Amino acid sequence: MSEEEYGVLSAAAEKEHLANGAFAAQVAMAAARGAARPEYALLRESLTAVMHSAGQVRRIGINLNQAVAALHSGELPEQLRWYAQACARTVGKLDDLADELRIRLP
């Protein structure tokens, strides 16, 4: 393997967060099985971002529900505006992610 080829292999392995040997083994096994090669770094990054965002939305939703319950009891919680703004920011990030995925994926 030339130094250039080794560099390409190392870069691909790093994108997948794998050691060079582990990446080479996965690619070899995928080729032997006729399966897709592990070249899905963008999809994995996107999945990570979506999972993180989903967790944020759940936490914000819980806090927003608690604030609304307090509002119904006659209190106007200070945090209500903050939760609504956080929710709007998170939804905006999800919209941006969806647009990026739409553009970058075939």
User: What is the DSSP track for 24-78?
Assistant: HHHHHHHHHHTPPPS--HHHHHHHHHHHHHHHHHHHHHHHHHHHHHHHHTT---T
Whether pTM > 0.85 for this model: the answer is no
pLDDT of residue 41: 62
pLDDT of residue 39: 58
Tens of each residue's pLDDT in the chain, 106 residues: 899 989 998 998 888 888 999 888 888 887 788 776 555 666 777 778 888 888 888 888 888 888 888 888 887 777 777 877 888 888 888 888 888 877 776 6
